[in-house]
Amino acid sequence: MKILVCISHVPDTTSKINFTDGDTKFDTAGVNFVINPNDEFGLTRAMWFKEKQGASVHVINVGGPETEPTLRKALAIGADEAIRINTPATDGYSVAKQLANVVKEGGYDLVIGGRESIDYNGGMVPGMLAKLIDANFVNTCISLEVNGTDATAIREIDGGKETISTTLPLVVGGQKGLVEESDLRIPNMRGIMQARSKPLHVKEAIDANAETNTVVFEKPAPKGAVKLVDNVDDLINLLHNEAKVI
């Protein structure tokens, strides 16, 4: 089985976020970037298929040279090869088009991506990719088993879970639950050293016009001042007359 894991290069959630050029561009100065958490669950599951079933695992990213350390981390975790499509990730549709071209050329049986990235939270790329390559698609996936060309997946739905039987080729939008957090892997020194010699292919982008563009970014409103009270009567009075919640 040949697996492709889509890796988004996203800011660490502890990073302080700022914007430049009139709040139209993200300021990357001083920001630490990591593998998108939803993608990391998918990569860990792909590593299980590699170790238990002999699958080959490639990772892919759409972005500039600045994303390569994130791909190298994926290689250090255990992926066999990495691919970087040399173009900025401008919107979901153009990213899906770039990925679809590589998937078609590479003959992948299973494509695993995160259900969404934690930067733009678009949640559209896996579904678009499945349509473009005419593959089956399971989103919000929390369990995946593959036996030959047959696959069984469990996905979250409103109020419960749904078990799905399907076949390869398959695109999965994974999330927490696809593996447990305790199963996530930290690259060890041996993996880091091996990653330096593993292939990282740079492919030039195909023509794929972006369907959306960012007009402006806006930070959430700052939190209001905190008012401390030291007795229940004052608290009830404030909740009733000021906050008007009781």
Measured distance CA(98)–CA(61) in Å, rounded: 10
pLDDT in tens, 50-105: 999 999 999 999 999 999 999 999 999 999 999 999 999 989 999 999 999 999 99
Measured distance CA(181)–CA(47) in Å, rounded: 14
What's the half-sphere exposure (Cβ side, CA atoms, 13 Å) at 106? 26
Mean pLDDT, rounded, of the chain: 95
Measured distance CA(96)–CA(211) in Å, rounded: 11
Task: Write down the pLDDT at residue 221.
Answer: 87
Task: Write down the pLDDT at residue 245.
Answer: 87
Q: Based on DSSP, count helices (H) and strands (E) in the chain, helices before strands.
A: 6, 13
- pLDDT tops 90 at residue 165: yes
| Angle made by CA atoms 148, 40, 129, in degrees to the nearest 5 | 60
CA neighbor of 187 nearest in space, from 179, 195, 198? 195
Domain ranges of the chain: 2-219
Q: pTM (2 decimals)? A: 0.90
Answer for the pair 4, 58: CB distance below 8 angstroms, yes or no: yes
pLDDT in tens, 18-36: 999 999 999 999 999 999 9
- Which residues face 59 on adjacent strands? 5, 82
What's the half-sphere exposure (Cβ side, CA atoms, 13 Å) at 220? 5
Give the CATH H-level superfamily of domain 2-219: HUPs (3.40.50.620)
Query: What 3-state class would DSSP assign to 77?
Result: helix
Rounded mean pLDDT of 177-190?
94
54-60-65-67 Cα dihedral, nearest 10 degrees: -90
| Angle made by CA atoms 180, 182, 187, in degrees to the nearest 5 | 115
Query: What 3-state class would DSSP assign to 195?
Result: helix
Q: How far is CA 70 from CA 5, 10, 154, in A?
A: 13, 9, 28
Alpha helices in 107-171 (DSSP H): 125-133
Measured distance CA(185)–CA(107) in Å, rounded: 27
Strands (E), 87-228: 110-114, 136-147, 150-157, 160-167, 170-174, 200-204
Q: Angle between the 68-77 and 37-53 helix axes, to the nearest 10 degrees?
A: 40
pLDDT in tens, 113-127: 999 999 989 999 999
pLDDT tier at 243, thresholds 50, 70, 90: confident
The sign of the CA dihedral 211, 113, 30, 221 is positive
Task: Write down the pLDDT at residue 200.
Answer: 98
Top-confidence residue, 238 or 75: 75
Backbone angles phi, psi at 219, to 5 degrees: -75, 155
The amino acid occupying position 222 is P
Answer for the pair 121, 98: CB distance below 8 angstroms, yes or no: no
